[in-house]
Structure 1
Amino acid sequence: MSLDLPDLRTDLETLAEAHGITGAVVAFAAGDEVAEAATGVLNSRTGHPATTGSLFQIGSVAKAWTATLVMQLVDEGRLDLDQSAQSVLPGLALPDPVTIRQLLAHTGGFEGDVFVDTGRGDDAIEKLVALLGEVPRLSPPGAVWSYNNAGYVVLGRVVEVLRGVPYNQALRTHLIGPLGLTRTATSADEAILYSTAVGHAGGEPVPTWSLMRSNDPAGSSLAMTARDLLTFARAHLSDGAGVLPARLARMMREPQVTLPDLGRPSRWGLGWELQEWAGGTVVGHDGSTPGQAAVLKLVPEAGVAAVLLTNGGDPDPLVAELVAPVLSRIAGVVPPAPPTPPDPPLPFVVERYAGRYVSDVMAWEVAGDDEGRLWVTVTPLGAMAAHGGSQTFELVRLRQDTFVFAQARGGVHSAVAFLGEGERARYLHTGRLNVRRSL
C-alpha cells in the first residue's frame, strides 16, 4: 500500500485556520510508511512553531498504555483478568468487588471522575486509591458501561504493586524503552526538555500544563510526538510485536460490552473503543487535558493508523474533514453519519425524562416547557466547578430513549441516552452514568 498524501500539510493548515486550532500535528501509518504534517504554534505567547518533532499531551489515550501494562502482567501469569482488583489491593474499599476485566472495560459500576491532587510524589496514585471508599455506587459491576477514570487509576496502582515501582517508571521500563521511543515524556519535568505544546483556550495559554499526578494512569501527563504514538499503535497493529503476545493484543480488541445508544454504534474492548464503520472496525481512543486533545485510530484489517494532536480549538472538525477522509481512502473505512435532529421532531412523554441527574462533577436538570420541548441545564460540580457555570440546551428525541442536542457543536449534535425500566428513567447517560436524584 502506498501512503501518498501530497496535500496533507496544506489541508491541515487550511482546516486548522478555519477552526481556530492553535497548533496541530497529524500523522498516518500504513505498513512501513508514515506521512505527517504540522501547523500553527506551540505557545501563542512565544510564537514557537509546532513541528512534527513537537510533544503534545495524549490525555486519555494513555489508558491504552495502562491497559497494555496490565496485559503484560496477564502474560506473565501474575494477574488474571477475572480476579478482583481487591485481591491485589486488599485496602481497596470500592462499593463492590470489581474485576480487572471490568475496570479495563469501564464497567466497574462506581463513580469514575475522582480528581483529587494528592501531590507530586511517587505515592500520589496510592493516596488517591485510598480515597475511593468514598465514591458512590452507580450500578452493579459489569452491568453498564460508564467511562471511568478512577478505574484506570486503580489499574495503575495494580501495576505499581505487582512491579514494585512507580507507574511512570513501569511505563519507561515496559513500554517506552522496549518500543524505542525517544521523544516521550511522562511528566512536566521531562516534557520541558523538549519542544512541547502548551494547552490553549480561547487562543490563550491555559494556566496549568497538566492534570494531577494521581490520575496519570488515566491520562494526566503523558506527552509525545505523533510518530512515537504511531510506534505504539503499530505495535498493536502488529499484534503486540515487541510489547505483547499476539493472542493478548488481539484479546484487547475483542468486544467486552456494548455501549448505550449515544448516537453511534460502539463497543469497548480491554482498553480500546471499537467503532463500527462501513468497511471494518476502527479501534482507538480519544484524549483531552487542559487545552489539548488527541485522537488515535487503528484499522487492524488494513494495517493503518492515524494520529491527531492539537493544543487549542475544537479538534472534531479536523477528525471529520481530514482524518476520516484519509482513513476512508487508505483503509477503505467510512464513519457512520453523525446523528441529526429529526424533522419533524419525534414525540415523547416529558414525565419519563424530567428530573435532576447527578454525578460528582456534573448536574443535569431536565425539564419540559409549555411548548412540549425538552431542555437540560448543565452545571459543573466539585472539581469541575471552576471550569464554567451553568448552560442550558434543548434536547430533541432521536429514537427510543436517545436524544440529541438541538444545537450542533463543532458540526456535531451530541447524543445522550436515558436508561431504566418503568415510567421514569433512572439514569441519564452522557458517556458517564448520572443518577436521577429527584423527579
Structure 2
Amino acid sequence: MKKLPSLLGILLIGALTLWLARYFFLRQIYVITDNAFQMADVVTVSTEDVSGQIIAMYAKEYDYVKKGDLLFKVDDSVYRKSCEELKERLSALKSSKERLLKRLERVKEQLPLKVEVVRAKLRALQEKLNQLKKQREIAQVNYETSVRKAESSLKAAKEAVESARTFLRTAEDRYKKYYRLYGKRVISKEQFEEVENLYKKAKADYAAALSRLKVAEEDLKLANSTSLRVEIIDRQIKELESEMRALRENLRISQADLKRIAELKKSIEQLSGEIRATEKAREKAEVLLSHTEVRAPLSGFIAKKWREKGDFVSPGLPVYSIYDPSTFYVLAWVDEDKAPAVKVGSPVKAFLEACGKEFRGKVSAVGVSAGSIFSLIPRDTSQGEYTRVTQRVPVKILLRDVPKVCIKPGTNVTVYIKR
C-alpha cells in the first residue's frame, strides 16, 4: 500500500512530462492559435426602392434559401393603384392621338397635291442650282488658270523669239564677214565651216522659236474660249433662280392652307411626348410593383431575421441577413512574432468547435497590417505612456470538404498552421 502513492506520483509525473513534450513539440512544427473564427460573406436583404408594411414573410431564421426564392412581400396597394392609373392615362392619350391622326389625314386629302409637287420640284431645282454653282466655280478656276498659264507661255515664247532673232542677226553678220574672208583665202575652211554651222543653227533656233510662239498664241485663244463655259453656266443659273422664285411665290400662297396641318402635327407631337413620358412612368411603376416582392440575391442560410410581419420597411432597413456557405473561410489572428512563419499555401489543420471535427486546408492570404490599426480608438503613445502589447495579424484559411452543417459563422476554431 505504501508503494501505491509513489506509483501514482510517477505516473502523474510521466503524464505531465508527455503532455509538456507534446505541447512544445506541436509548437515547434505548428503556429497554433485558438483566436480564430468561422467567417462567410453575409448579405443584408432589404427593399431596393420601395417602402411599406410587410404583409408576408416566407423564410424563417436558419432556413436554407436558393437564389431567387421569395423572402417577403411589402404592401403593394399604392404601387398597384399607380400602375392602374398610369395605364388608364396611357390609353386615353393614345385614343386622343388616334383621333388627331385621322383628322390630319382628312385635312391632307383636302389640300391640293401641287403643294407637295412644288416642294419636290423646288428641292430638285435647289440641288441642280447647287451643282451648277459648283460647276461654275470649277469652270472659273479652270479659265483663270488656263489664261494665266497661256499668257505666261506666250510671254516666254516672245522673249525666246526676240533672243533667237538677236542671236540670228549676230550669227548672220559674222557669217557674212567670214564668207568674204574665206573668199580672199584669209581664213581656213574649217574656221568658215564652224561659223557657217553656227549661222545655220541660229536660223533653226529662230524658226523653232517662231513655231513655239504660234503655238502659245493658239493656246491663249483656246484658253480665252473657255470663258464661254462660264457664261453658259451663268445663264443657266439665272434661269433656274427665276424659275425657283416663281415656284416659291406659288408655295407662299399655299402656306395658309398648310398652317392647319402644322398645328395638327404639333399637337400630335406633344401627345407623342406625353405618351412616351407616361410609358416610362408606367414601366417604372411596374418595376416598383415587382420590387414589393423581395427575393433572395444568393443561395445560403438565413443568419438573422430583423423584421416581423406588420413592420414598416424602407430602402436600407435590413429584413434578413443571409450568409453564403460557399464563401466559408476561417479568420485566424496570429501573434506578430509568429507571423513570419506563416506563408500563403502553408498546410493547416483546423478544429471546428461547432461540430467537434478537424478539417484540413491551407493559408490563402496573410494580412499586411495588424488588426489594431482599424480600431475605433487608435493607440496614442505621443505622451510617452506606452505598454507593449503583442499585436495580431489576420490570416485567411480555406478548408476542404467541410459539410454545410458544420459551417456556422462566428463560432470558434482552433488552427494549427504548419511552419
The TM-score bracket by the shorter chain reads under 0.3
Q: Whose radius of gyration is greater, 1 or 2?
A: 2
TM-score of the superposed pair, with normalisation by structure 2: 0.17
